[in-house]
Amino acid sequence: MAFPEPLERLIRALERFPGVGPRSAERMALHVLRSPPEEVAELAMALRDARMETVRCEICGNVTLRSPCRICADPERDPGLVCVVEGPREVARMEESKVFPGRYHVLMAGFAPREGAAPEEAALAALRRRVESGEVREVVLATAPDREGEGAALLVAEALRGLPVRLSRLARGLPVGTRLEYLHGEILAEAFRGRRAWNPDSDPDGGEGDPSR
Ligand SMILES: [Zn+2]
C-alpha cells in the first residue's frame, strides 16, 4: 500500500467516478488532505444528500426530490407528447430551451458508463406502459445523433413496436457527434420545431415527413 489506509480507500472510491483514472484519483485525494476540514465535511454532506435525498420519478424516471416530479405533476404540461432523452442533463437542457410543452421519459442511458450506454430495461418497460395507457399520441426521440444515441433510439422503437403512437425525432440540423447535453437552447428549440416522423423499419437513416400527419 503506497498510502495510509484511509487515503487508499478514498483513492479507490474516487476512481469509480467516470473519467477518473488512478493518477487523477490520487491528485483529488491529496487535494482533499490540503483542504480545510469544514470544506471536506461540506463535500461529504453534499455527496450524501445528492444521493440520499433524490429519487427517480415513478412516471418519467427523472431525478427529483419528490415523485411524481414537478413536470409530471404539472397539469399545464401535455401528457400526450413525451420526449425521450438519455439522462437528467438532457431534460435540463430541453427545459432551458423552453420549447417543449410535453413531458419526458428518461432512459438513464450512459448513466453508469462502466455498464455501457444502453437504456435501462425498466425505463423501456415503463415507457411502453405509459404508451399502452392510451394517453400518449407522440413520442419524440431526443437521443444524441451519435452511435450511442442511435442505438438507444432503436431500442425505444423496438420497445414500442405495435403500439398506436407516432414516433418522431429531432431535426438533423444537429452536428453529428453533438450530445444534447452540450447544445445551446436555441439550436435545440429549432431541432424540436423541425422534428420529423420516424419509422426505423422503412427509413433507418432518420425518416422524413411531418409527425402531425
Ligand atoms: Zn416525472
CB 176 within 8 A of CB 146: yes
CB 137 within 8 A of CB 79: no
pLDDT tens column, 145-181: 778 888 889 999 999 999 999 999 988 665 655 666 5
**C-alpha 62 to ligand 1 mean position (Å):** 6
Which cell numbers in the block locate residue 196?
420529423
**C-alpha 114 to ligand 1 mean position (Å):** 26
DSSP label at residue 123: H
For 13, residues 6+ apart whose C-beta sits below 8 A from its C-beta are none
**C-alpha 2 to ligand 1 mean position (Å):** 46
Cα 157 to chain centroid distance, Å, stands at: 17
Q: What is the pLDDT of residue 210?
A: 46
Domains of the chain: 5-53 (1.10.8.420), 78-197 (3.40.1360.10)
pLDDT band at 78 (very low <50, low <70, confident <90, very high): very high
Q: What is d(CA 177, CA 155) in angstroms, rounded to the nearest whole number? A: 19
pLDDT tens column, 16-53: 998 899 999 999 999 999 999 999 999 999 999 999 99
CB 80 within 8 A of CB 138: yes
**C-alpha 58 to ligand 1 mean position (Å):** 7
**C-alpha 109 to ligand 1 mean position (Å):** 16
CB 88 within 8 A of CB 109: no
Task: Identify the H or E element spanning 80.
Answer: strand 78-85
**Least confident interval from 26-35, 59-68, 138-147:** 138-147
Amino acid occupying residue 89: R
Mean confidence (pLDDT) of the chain: 86
**C-alpha 89 to ligand 1 mean position (Å):** 14
pTM for the model stands at 0.76
